[in-house]
């Protein structure tokens, strides 16, 4: 049986893991925006490559969203421990 102090510490650790996951998820989701070359935005080259890049970007966005949701859930769980 865990004591109240151990339970609070476990809650803080779970919340910290949740914060880290949400942060990583945000970076993964926004990576394509951060990685975009400003010189090619709005040019024909960008439009031509958009069909090839979209599935990759969609996969990264879904993975980031998943990490954000799980991280938020862990933060809430850690709050009530």
HSE at residue 39, side-chain half, CA atoms within 13 A, is: 0
Res 20: pLDDT = 95
The pLDDT value recorded for residue 72 is 94
Residue 79 pLDDT exceeds 80: yes
- Model confidence over 21-69: pLDDT tens digits? 999 999 988 887 777 766 766 666 666 777 777 787 888 889 999 999 9
- pTM across the whole model: 0.75
Is the pLDDT higher at 8 or at 21? 21
Kindly state the tokens that stand for 21: 């996951």
10 pLDDT band, cuts 50/70/90, is confident
CB 29 within 8 A of CB 68: yes
Domain range summary for the chain, segments of one domain joined by +: 4-79
């Amino acid at each position: 049986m865990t004591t109240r102090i151990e339970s609070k510490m476990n809650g803080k650790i779970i919340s910290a893991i949740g914060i880290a996951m949400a942060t990583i998820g945000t970076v993964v989701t926004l990576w394509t925006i951060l990685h975009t070359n400003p010189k090619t935005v709005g040019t024909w080259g960008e439009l031509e490559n958009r069909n090839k890049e979209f599935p990759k970007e969609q996969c990264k966005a879904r993975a980031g969203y998943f990490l954000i949701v799980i991280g938020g859930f862990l933060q809430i769980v850690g709050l009530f421990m």
